[in-house]
Structure formats: C-alpha cells, structure tokens
Structure 1
Amino acid sequence: MNEGLVFDIHRGTTHDGPGMRTTVFLKGCPLHCTWCQNPESIYPGRELMWDAKKCIGCMECIKACPVKALTANDSGIKTDKSACRKCFACAAGCPSKAMQIVGNPWEVSTLVKEACKDRMFFEDFSGGVTVSGGEPLLQSEFLPEFLRTLKKEGINTALDTSGFGRQEVLHEVYPFVDTFLYDIKFINDGMHQAHTGVSNKIILENLKSIADRIRRQKDSRLWIRTPLIPGATAAEENIEEIGQYIRKELIDVIERWELCAFNYVCKDKYIKMGQYWKYAECTLLDCSTVEDLASIAEKYAEGLVVVSGLTAQKK
C-alpha cells in the first residue's frame, strides 16, 4: 500500500499555479529555511501541535500521556519532545481538539478522489492540483504514483519544489507535471547554506536538467519563484545574481518569475509548534522596496516578472 503523509489541503488557491487549484501539502523537507512559512512541514513524520485558542484547560491531554511528556504552565501546554513517543494519546484525549496531530496518511486513490471533488472548479477556472510541501520530492515513492493517477483522471498538475532531491525522482515525475514551480532563493552557495542549511548545487543542477528537458519536449511550463525575505533574499545583489542566471540559463524556457513578498501569517504556527521564529518581529516589506527589486528583475526577464504577497504602503 503506497501511502503519503499529508499535513494540509487547501482548496480554491490562485497562487500555486495556473487557474484555481487545490494544493496538497506533503510532509517532510530537507531544507531548514530561516523564514519557513510551514514549520509543521519540516519533520518527515507525524507530530503534535497545540492551539491555545482552542484549549479549555481541562488537562485531559496531560492525564492521557502514558510517559508524562506533557506539562502545564502559565504559557500553556508544553511537550517534552525527547520523552514523547508519538503515541498521540494526548490528541485522542483532548475534547476541544486543541492538541492536534500534524500529518495524516493518505492512500493514492483516496487522495486523488478527495482532490477530484474540485474538478468542476478546475474546468471552469483552468486549474488543477498542485503538490507542495515541505518538499514533495522527499516522498519519492508516493509522489510519482499520485501525479500519474491525477493525469489518468485528466487533472492538470503542478509541482511546487525547492529542487533539492534526487534527479531520478524529478525525471520520474516529469511526464506527469504540467507546471513546475521552482524556487531559486540564492545563487551564492554560501548564502544559500547559511539561510537554508543546504547547498544549492543539487538544486541548480536539477533545474538545468528540467530546463533541458522542457527545451527538447516543450510539454511542461516552468515558473521560477523567489521569496523576498528581509535581511536575506530581498537584496538588490541577490536579485541581480538570480536575474543574470535566469537570463543566461533559462530565459528561453521560463514562463514567469514570481517574487513572493514576505509575510508573517505563519507566526501563529510557530507558537503552536512551540518553536522560535527569527522573523516574528519583522514587518512587511515596503512597497517601494519591492518595486525596486521588481525593476531589477525586469532587466533580466522583461515581461515575465510577477509580484505576489502583501506589502506595506509607501510612507
């Protein structure tokens, strides 16, 4: 039985590929981006999340834990992750669902059936299903079968990837992907390692491989995505370097270069996961900064640059 571990499903999205889409988020990621918007996606197994807003203070979760890994203090319920056996008895015993399990196993056929509930919207709004994460390539057995089955159902597909994975997995899924949403965060490898924990060499090698295949077969679309993160990727030098790379290596195959402006919507997720987030006090990028970065990008990919996300108004 081929099962995938899914931590979320979003319906009616308009920013994860062409048209209106349903986005399936697979769990597990080899990167540890300092700005990660989905901290619950990184660990490749099931884990716990506690929501203070739902908690009624009954302490049933603490009573249910067989190894006493949970405690309560003025800031809420705390989990000793070194003691936790991930039996999830606490979540089962929580009457208000404040203690939640992140990550649920899905069989391919069941998940395809779930995604296809939105088929009418895909047809009306030229959309489909996007697989995101985490890093989908990490689930190397489940992902190809899931995408293959979606294509058999006539569903348009997109793969949102960091590109950090085995090249053979990318080539296995290639025939079943209509649009690749491919991240380029940095060209400078040292900066990439400092902010994500991994080198970008595999990422750029895989990107060249995908671009070459698109040149030959002309059967998939390629969108490049760059997050604009304060103090990291949102720097003129970085956008210049990415722009130069795109102009040299990709300009004949990419359909768009999306600059994704930083947001802090994920702040509550870090609180629920009991994790520190470096960007918790950061504000939105101001509009003029984003416009300046977009102007630099336009020099290298004229007519292909799109800005997404919220920005602060000009002062």
Structure 2
Amino acid sequence: MNDAQTTGIVFNIQKFSVHDGKGIRTLVFLKGCPLRCRWCSNPESQRHEPEHAFNPMRCLTAEVCGRCVNACKSGALTLKNGLIAFDPRACEQCFACADACPSGSQSVYGERMTVDAVLNKVEEDGVFYNRSGGGLTLSGGEALAQPDFALALLREARRRRIKTTIETCGYYPYERLAEACASLDALIFDIKCFDPALHKKFTGVDNARILDNFRRVCEDFPLLPIRARTPVIPGFNDNEAEIQAIREFVPRRPNVEYELLTYHRMGQPKYGYLGRIYEMEGANLVEDIMRRLRDIAQ
C-alpha cells in the first residue's frame, strides 16, 4: 500500500491553531496513547479504537426524541426518571445510537481515514501556511502510537511540500522517533517529570525511555528545531526542584528551547461524556508558583 492510501484513526482535525508550532497550523489528532496522565485534556484520545460518547447537554430528551434508546440493543442507554442514562460498562461500541441521534448528543470519537483524505483537509488552508510559515502538526493522544499511519502522513506531507511538526510524549522505541524526525521540520517533545517514581504514579509509566529518547534526538538531529515542554500540574510537578531538574536536563543549544504550559481543566467535561472519572477534580495551580517556575525555566 502506498503512503496516500495508508489508513489510521483520527478523532479531530483542528484548523487555525497558533500554539502548536510555527505560524498558522492544522492539528490532526490521532487516537491512541501509551500514557494515562491524570490531567489529560483529551481523554478521548487514549484508547486506540473509536469510542462512544454521550453529551446530555445536547440531548433533545426522551420525551421529544428517544431514538438512541430504541437503537441501543445492549442496554447501555436506558430511561431513568424520564432522562436518558448511559452505562459505559454495558456499551458494545456498535454506535447505532450515534447513527440514530439527530442532535449529536450521542457521538463517536474516532474515524478511520486515509492519509490522502487527511492531507486534502490540511491543504484547504495552504494559503495561510504560505503566509505564516505554518503547516501540519500531528498530535493525539500520541502521534506515533499509530506509527505506520503517522510516518506515512509525514512522508506524504513532505512530498506535497507541507511543513510538518509532531507533538510527542516520547514513550516508544527510539527508531520510531528517528524515522519521524527525518521527515519533520520541527519537534515538540513533552518532558512531564524528572522523578521516575512520580512520573509512573501520575502517568502510568516511568520516564527512563522518554528521557533517553529526548537525549538521543538532541544529539542525532542537531539542526532540527526542538521545543521541550512541561505541563505544570498541581500536586505533581509544580515545585522548583522538579522544574529545575528538567531545566538542567534540557541542553542549551541553538535548536532547543524549553517552555512551561499552565494547567487547565478544559477537557474535564469529556470525561463525563465517556463515563469516566476526572482524577484531578478540585486541583488548582497557584499563579505565584507558576511565575516562579517560569523564571526557573527561562
């Protein structure tokens, strides 16, 4: 199969982004991630396959509609006190409810697409890339959790002269990252924590492979623009010792920069749509602490 016809699971294509690489960009979000970060703002990205979601705020109510309940054969959707209730444990991911729903209350995160179909969407905004120096950014989830699809996207984008960036957690064999970098114009690499035990507690994996991959990519690709990022998370890495350790680890080279991202809860409602619990409920980042940490990062 040629690159243009390679397929993968995409859960969102977001246009006119200015925070995920140089210039105006189109973000392509791929399903699947090896990490389970407690604060993840895209919980719909974690699992590799398409999955059902229920947003009750968009529901027309059972009295007006109720088509989803009639379409569901597994008993995941039922009526309770006149309201539609969703039991994710009973859901068989058949998506009949989403097909029947007229309001988008029942939906599916994830669609199988070809590289050609994705890049045709990306190329719709080519005029903005030309003027701003932007292009395509692969994100997720983890972009390289679907390696064949992601690498085919990068290669085909290069053939079409679309500038490319990926956002990555870095947790996979180094060979996969090195192959991607051969087709990249820039790399955005998250370093969430330097303490391995703490990293595993909050993300589900330790950070040895991540740190080794970052070290190696900085050495092997000295001309590739690399941005290291740390999302500052309350109760996890919002302290001077942790940020100082990461700052000292990130090499001071012309092609490498380092920045901190401020914790936010914009993805919290999606946990409810998926029938999951948001583990960071009530967490807040103190602005005075964030200012001190920015000083260290700079």
TM category, shorter: over 0.9
Deviates more, 1:227-236 or 1:285-294: 285-294
Q: Deviations over 1:147-190 (max 9, x none)?
A: 11111111111010000112221122111111110000111100
Is this contact kept in 1: 2:259–2:297, CA < 8 A? no
Residue of structure 2 equivalent to 1:311: none
Q: Deviations over 1:254-290 (max 9, x none)?
A: 432110001111121122222111223234x343221
Q: By how many angstroms is 1:85 displaced?
A: 2.2
Residues 1:261 and 2:265 aligned together:
no
Residues 1:33 and 2:37 aligned together:
yes
**Distance (Å, rounded) in 2 between the aligned partners of 1:27 and 1:138:** 8
Deviates more, 1:74-83 or 1:180-189: 74-83
Specify which of 135, 146, 155 is matched with residue 139 of structure 1. Answer: 146
Once the two structures are aligned, what percentage of the paired residues are identical?
34
Residues 1:243 and 2:247 aligned together:
yes
Q: By how many angstroms is 1:106 displaced?
A: 0.8
Query: What SS does the corresponding residue of 1:9 show, helix, strand or coil?
Result: strand
C-alpha RMSD over aligned residues: 1.6
Query: What SS does the corresponding residue of 2:221 show, helix, strand or coil?
Result: helix
C-alpha spacing 1:221/1:196, structure 2 compared with 1 (3 Å): same
Deviates more, 1:200-209 or 1:25-34: 200-209
Q: By how many angstroms is 1:84 displaced?
A: 2.3
Residues 1:67 and 2:68 aligned together:
no
Residue of structure 1 equivalent to 2:281: 280
Deviates more, 1:23-32 or 1:199-208: 199-208
Q: Which amino acid aligns with 1:242?
A: I
Residue of structure 1 equivalent to 2:11: 7
C-alpha spacing 1:199/1:7, structure 2 compared with 1 (3 Å): same
**Distance (Å, rounded) in 2 between the aligned partners of 1:81 and 1:292:** 42
| Structure 1 gap segments, 5+ residues each | 299-315
Q: By how many angstroms is 1:253 displaced?
A: 5.3
Q: Deviations over 1:180-222 (max 9, x none)?
A: 100001111001001100011111111122111112xx2x210
Q: By how many angstroms is 1:69 displaced?
A: 2.2
C-alpha spacing 1:141/1:78, structure 2 compared with 1 (3 Å): farther
Q: Deviations over 1:136-156 (max 9, x none)?
A: 111011011101111111111
Is this contact kept in 2: 1:52–1:76, CA < 8 A? no
Is this contact kept in 1: 2:88–2:275, CA < 8 A? no
Q: Which amino acid aligns with 1:124?
A: R
Residues 1:166 and 2:170 aligned together:
no
**Distance (Å, rounded) in 2 between the aligned partners of 1:76 and 1:288:** 44
Q: Which amino acid aligns with 1:32?
A: R
Q: Deviations over 1:104-154 (max 9, x none)?
A: 111011111111111111111111110000011110110111011111111
Query: What SS does the corresponding residue of 1:260 show, helix, strand or coil?
Result: strand
**Distance (Å, rounded) in 1 between the aligned partners of 2:259 and 2:125:** 26
For these two proteins, the number of residue pairs brought into alignment is 291
Residue of structure 2 equivalent to 1:85: 92
- Residues 160-199 of structure 1: pairs in structure 2 closer than 5 A: 160-199=167-206
Is this contact kept in 2: 1:50–1:99, CA < 8 A? yes
C-alpha spacing 1:72/1:167, structure 2 compared with 1 (3 Å): farther
Is this contact kept in 2: 1:222–1:253, CA < 8 A? no
C-alpha spacing 1:56/1:272, structure 2 compared with 1 (3 Å): same
Residues 1:290 and 2:290 aligned together:
yes
Residues 1:51 and 2:24 aligned together:
no
| Structure 2 gap segments, 5+ residues each | none
Is this contact kept in 2: 1:61–1:94, CA < 8 A? yes
Query: What SS does the corresponding residue of 1:293 show, helix, strand or coil?
Result: helix
Q: Which amino acid aligns with 1:49?
A: A
TM-score by length of 2: 0.93
Q: Which amino acid aligns with 2:13?
A: I
Residue of structure 2 equivalent to 1:304: none
Specify which of 136, 159, 162 is matched with residue 152 of structure 1. Answer: 159
Q: Which amino acid aligns with 2:262?
A: A
By relative contact order (CA 8 Å, sep 6+), the higher-ranking structure is 2
**Distance (Å, rounded) in 1 between the aligned partners of 2:221 and 2:81:** 56
C-alpha spacing 1:127/1:63, structure 2 compared with 1 (3 Å): same
Q: By how many angstroms is 1:29 displaced?
A: 0.6
**Distance (Å, rounded) in 1 between the aligned partners of 2:232 and 2:107:** 31
Q: By how many angstroms is 1:76 displaced?
A: 5.3
